[in-house]
């Protein structure tokens, strides 16, 4: 398969949120999101309730995919940073560990330079967390150990979803 | 690929509606959007041209409820059907868990259907997927129109492997939920097998 399945566990989820909260403070940002390259929102912090986070995640992933396509056309591997400047708010989008997308929304209280600097540091920390996460899910898969709740799923369970 | 979050107890899956231009992919999503309870759906996003042709994708998030304590979410995407948008179509197939092929039943669209299903297969291979080994259903749309090809012929040309198939009229909604339910079911059973 092109991309192994992304599985998130409690321990790493907490670690990731700690890194994001720190980045939010240090970069003076308004909101930070972490999105899977396939468009699924992983987590967010800051004023998340003001935004339609699901749409934001999907469009960000679409954006990264489209610019990634452009990069390949001109012979680049990917464009690892995108920056969108608005009148008030700006978006800094970057790829972390080759598979997740870090989205930082900030306004005039911060600056592009500061955000870039802090994102770089946070990216390294996130990178190592995701590396551990991948190893962990691989090991669990190999050992056949799975807490996966769907193993005993029945036809009725699925039918109930659509009732 | 699906995203399983043990921390927030969620499972997210991605379904892509594929098919030739004007076959009714967006109409399928619009009907699902209209008929879904407000609390179960997010905003539908359409990145379309001024003439309402899909430019990049449509997106509809659905939260169908819980299975064994896990919130089950499906993200529905359509691709732009027109031939020259192939680069965009490839991008949308990234990380797909299940595919719905929407065929246009009209006689004059048979060539377009066949070209599109072949294009789907090739684009999936490029992403490392095999259409024969993944959740896949076919919808024969526009069954209400007068100049339609028989189901037997559609099946022969488009569904040689005998995947689940549905007759539909997406404008009135006939067959729309049956199709969605079938592909969702296949995806969940795939997850169950631990693929």
DSSP B43-62: --EEEE-TTS-EEEEEEEEE
Of A145-159, B101-115, B141-155, B159-173, which range is least confident? A145-159
Contact B68 A150 (CB under 8 A): yes
* Residue A29 CB neighbours (<10 A): 26
Give the 3-state secondary structure of residue B38: helix
- Please tell me the distance in Å from B111's CA to the nearest CA on chain A: 28
Query: Model confidence at B4, in pLDDT bands (50, 70, 90)?
Result: confident
Structure ipTM? 0.82
Q: Is B185 near chain A, with CB under 8 Å?
A: yes
- Condensed to tens digits (0 to 9), the pLDDT of residues B53-75 reads 999 999 999 998 888 888 999 99
CATH number of the domain to which B46 belongs: 3.40.50.300
Round to whole Å and give the CA distance between B94 and B51: 27
Please report the domains of chain A, with CATH numbers, ordered by start residue: 28-134 (3.30.450.30)
Contact A39 B14 (CB under 8 A): yes
Tokens of B71: 């919130």
pLDDT score for A2:
43
Round to whole Å and give the CA distance between B166 and B176: 9
Question: How many structural domains are present in chain B?
Answer: 1
pLDDT at residue B167 is higher than 50: yes
- What backbone phi and psi angles, to 5 degrees, belong to B76? -95, 130
Round to whole Å and give the CA distance between B12 and B184: 11
pLDDT score for A3:
53
Tokens of B45: 């996003």
Tokens of B29: 């999503």
Contact A152 B68 (CB under 8 A): yes
List b or e across B112-147, with b for residues whose CB sees 16 or more CB atoms inside 10 angstroms.
bbeebbebbeebbeeeebebeebbbbbbbbbbeeee
Residue of A1, A9, A150 lying closest to B188 (CB–CB): A150
What is the Cα B116 distance to its own chain's centre? Answer: 13
Round to whole Å and give the CA distance between B132 and B101: 13
Q: In which domain, by residue range, is B34 found? A: 3-192
Q: Strand B45-48 relative to strand B10-18: parallel, antiparallel, unpaired?
A: unpaired
Chain A positions touching B87 (Cβ under 8 A) are: 69
Contact A14 B7 (CB under 8 A): yes
**Is the CA virtual torsion B29, B32, B37, B41 positive or negative?**
negative
Q: Is A3 near chain B, with CB under 8 Å?
A: yes
Instruction: Map tokens 């097998």 to a residue.
Output: B193
- Condensed to tens digits (0 to 9), the pLDDT of residues B91-100 reads 999 999 999 9
Residue of B7, B14, B67 lying closest to A161 (CB–CB): B67
Q: Mind listing the pLDDT tens digit of every residue in chain A (163 residues)? A: 345 678 899 999 999 999 999 999 999 999 999 999 988 899 999 999 999 998 999 999 999 999 999 999 999 999 999 999 999 999 999 999 888 999 999 999 999 999 999 999 999 999 999 999 989 888 887 776 656 667 777 778 777 877 6
Give yes or no for a contact between B45 and B59, defined as CB atoms under 8 angstroms apart. yes
Give the count of Cβ contacts less than 8 A between chain A and B: 134
């Amino acid at each position: 398969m092109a991309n192994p399945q992304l599985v998130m566990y409690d321990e790493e989820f907490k670690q990731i949120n700690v890194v994001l909260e720190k980045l939010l403070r240090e970069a003076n940002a308004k909101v930070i999101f972490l999105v899977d390259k396939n468009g699924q929102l992983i987590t967010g912090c800051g004023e998340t309730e003001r935004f339609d986070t699901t749409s934001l995640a999907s469009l960000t992933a679409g954006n990264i995919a489209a610019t990634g396509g452009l990069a390949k056309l001109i012979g680049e591997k990917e464009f690892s940073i995108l920056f969108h400047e608005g009148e008030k708010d700006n978006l800094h989008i970057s790829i972390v560990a080759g598979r997740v997308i870090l989205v930082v929304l900030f306004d005039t209280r911060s600056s592009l330079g500061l955000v870039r600097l802090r994102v770089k540091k946070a990216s390294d920390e996130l990178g190592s967390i995701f590396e551990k996460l991948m190893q962990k899910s691989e090991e669990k898969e190999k050992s056949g150990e799975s807490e996966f709740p769907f193993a005993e799923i029945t036809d009725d369970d699925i039918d109930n979803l659509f009732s | 690929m699906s995203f399983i979050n043990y921390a927030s107890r969620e499972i997210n899956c991605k379904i892509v509606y594929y098919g030739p231009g004007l076959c009714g992919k967006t109409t399928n999503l619009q009907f699902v959007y209209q008929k879904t309870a407000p609390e179960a759906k997010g905003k539908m996003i359409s990145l379309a041209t001024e003439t309402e042709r899909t430019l990049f994708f449509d997106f509809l998030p659905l939260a169908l409820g819980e299975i064994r304590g896990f919130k089950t979410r499906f993200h529905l995407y359509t691709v732009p059907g027109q031939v020259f948008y192939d680069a965009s179509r490839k991008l949308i197939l990234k990380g797909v868990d299940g595919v719905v092929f929407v065929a246009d039943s009209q006689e004059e669209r048979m060539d377009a259907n066949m070209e599109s299903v072949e294009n789907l297969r090739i684009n999936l291979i490029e992403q490392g997927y095999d259409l024969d080994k993944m959740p896949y259903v076919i919808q024969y749309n526009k069954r209400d129109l007068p100049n339609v090809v028989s189901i037997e012929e559609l099946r022969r040309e488009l569904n040689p492997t005998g995947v689940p198939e549905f007759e539909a009229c997406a404008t009135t909604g006939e067959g729309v939920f049956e199709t969605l339910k079938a592909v969702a079911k296949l995806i969940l059973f795939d997850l169950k097998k631990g693929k």
